Each structure stands twice: as C-alpha cells, then as structure tokens.
Amino acid sequence: MNVKVAVASKEIRVLRNIHGREFLEIDHPAVQARISLEGAHIVSCVPAGEEPLLWMSPIDPEEPGKPLRGGVPICWPWFAGERPGPAHGIARTSQWVLTDTYSAPHLLRLLLELPEDTIRKQLPGEAWRLQAEFELGQSLSINLITTNLSDKPQVLSQALHSYLPVHSIHSTQLWGLEGASYVDQVTGVASNTQHGAVTFTGEVDRIYYDHRSPIQLEGAEDQRVIVARDGSQSVVVWNPWIDKSTRLSQFPDDGYLGMVCIEAANAGPDARILEPGETHTLSTEIKRI
C-alpha cells in the first residue's frame, strides 16, 4: 500500500510505501513514470499510447536498501567493482532530493540531486556535486551531471544501467557495435572485437570502449529501440543468462529471457579524471522508432 505524502506539482506526487521507500509518481499527458528517490532510480517510463520503455523485475523488494532490478540504476562514482565498496558505487542506495521541475505539453523535466553531505559521509576526503536530470516524453533522456568540488583531481567511473524489455532474448540483436573493441567480463579477456550484431546464446557482460555511436536494438514483433549516448565512449551490454539469473536477488529465474541492459558508461578504459571544478555530463536517450 502506498501513502501520498506530498504533491510536488500537478503532475508529480510523492508516494511512500509501507516500508518507507519513497517514489515520485508521474502522471503527465505525454508520459507516465515512477522514480525511486532512493537512487534517483527510474523504475517505469511509459510514453502516452506506447509500450513501456524500461524492463522492471516483477519481484519488488519494496524495502529501502534492497536493489531494485530493472529501470535505470545509477552506478556512481564507480562502475561495478572498479573501487572497493558496494558494487556500482553509493548513488543507487542513497536518498536523493527533487530540486526542480519543468512541464510542457510534450515533456516533463525533473532535476534530482544527491546532497553533498550524503556523499561526503560515504566517501570521506572526496567532494562532489551530483545531479540527475530526467526528460520524459515520447523518449527518455537522462543526464548525470558530476562536478568535482575538491581541490584535487578525482577519478570517476559510472553508468546509466538501462534495463530494456525484449520479446525474446533469443531473437534480440544489437546493431551499431560492429568492429568495436570490448572487455569481456565473463571470460576476463581484455581485448576482443565485435563481429556483426551482438546476439545472445549465453551470459553476456561486456564493456565496449572507444565507441560513441547509437546502438539499435532489434527484436521480434518489429521492435526497434535506439540507445544514444553523450559524454560516453564506453557502453556495457549485459544479460545474466540462466545460472546468474537464479543467483541474482529480486530477479526471476527466467528474467533473462525478457531483458537486456545497454548501459551508457564511463567504465573500464573510459573512466575519467575530473580536475578541480570540472563538470562532466553522462547522457543517454532511449526511444522507440
């Protein structure tokens, strides 16, 4: 059961479930969406008259602190295990605040911020500003804006870990990565080359690097989705396949059949060093064509 705790605007309500997890519930003429304030994690985005843009696990942990599998988890300020600490960093388990909204007939824009002191407490000796801007409408755009507030350089790796729905992983193909180099995180082999489209016949967990162009997902029933990126020369492609699906928490055993992650990233060889005062924006846009 959800309780309405506030109205941020005509189109945005803040709901709290019985376990205390808070969501922005968005009901706008152009789009319906839901964003968890824990993690600034968009868990649903349905453009008016369209199918959902994002895949979400049917197993909802509801409780704060437990990972939501699906939507777009924000991995920051490190990707996976690139630094000691929780996998994919601290942003996805921290409480964000809504700081600004803008509404037009065809879109809704929301700005969320992870408070600086929340970051300082978890990353002693570091100083960052982190904002996430969501632009919701016929497509979904996310800008993750990081500023180094420290007086020394700081290392940043990150990802917008988008889970996309597919009708069947067996007939899913990703185009746009032909010829790209990748780190294979399943085999541990650091230097591989993509030949043809990416297809799925087992676990896929790859960081493609030196790559900027959009990726096109093609699937059954004429599904066509474009994932474009900016500020990103790496993209992670992930499907856990059979064994890992059974090991993942909040993930159904057959979940791998209906999803694929295409993650705009600064990961692996594309990690960044931000100089004092420098701002870097990682962006992704997901749209059906």
Task: Give per-residue burial for 102-116: e unless 16+ CB within 10 Å, then b.
Answer: ebeeebbbbbbbbee
Least distance between ligand BG6 and beta carbon 236 (Å): 5
Residues 56-85 that bind ligand BG6 (CB under 6 A): 67, 80
Least distance between ligand BG6 and beta carbon 197 (Å): 19
Closer residue to ligand BG6 in complex, CB, 236/260: 236
Closer residue to ligand BG6 in complex, CB, 133/263: 263
Decide if residue 211 touches ligand BG6 (CB under 6 A): no
Closer residue to ligand BG6 in complex, CB, 161/272: 161
DSSP string, the chain: -EEEEEEEETTEEEEEETTS-EEEEEEETTEEEEEETBTTEEEEEEETTS--SS-B-S----STTSPP-BSBPEEBSS-TTSSSSSTTBSGGGSB-EEEEEEEETTEEEEEEEE-HHHHHHHSTT--EEEEEEEEESSSEEEEEEEEE-SSS-EEE-EEE--EEE-S-GGG-EEES-TT-EEEETTT--S-EE--SSB--SS-EEEEEES--S-EEEEETTTEEEEEEEES-SEEEEEE-HHHHHHHSTT--TTGGGGEEEEEEEE-GGG-EEEPTT-EEEEEEEEEE-
Decide if residue 236 touches ligand BG6 (CB under 6 A): yes
Among 21, 34, 161, 211, binds ligand BG6 (CB under 6 A): 161
Residues 240-269 that bind ligand BG6 (CB under 6 A): 263
Least distance between ligand BG6 and beta carbon 256 (Å): 12
Size of the residue set binding ligand BG6 (CB under 6 A): 10
Least distance between ligand BG6 and beta carbon 72 (Å): 12
Among 185, 223, 245, 284, binds ligand BG6 (CB under 6 A): 185
Least distance between ligand BG6 and beta carbon 184 (Å): 11
Among 22, 113, 205, 270, binds ligand BG6 (CB under 6 A): 205
Among 88, 211, 272, 287, binds ligand BG6 (CB under 6 A): 88
Using CB under 6 A as the criterion, which residues of the chain lie in contact with ligand BG6 when the complex forms? 67, 80, 87-88, 161, 185, 205, 236, 238, 263
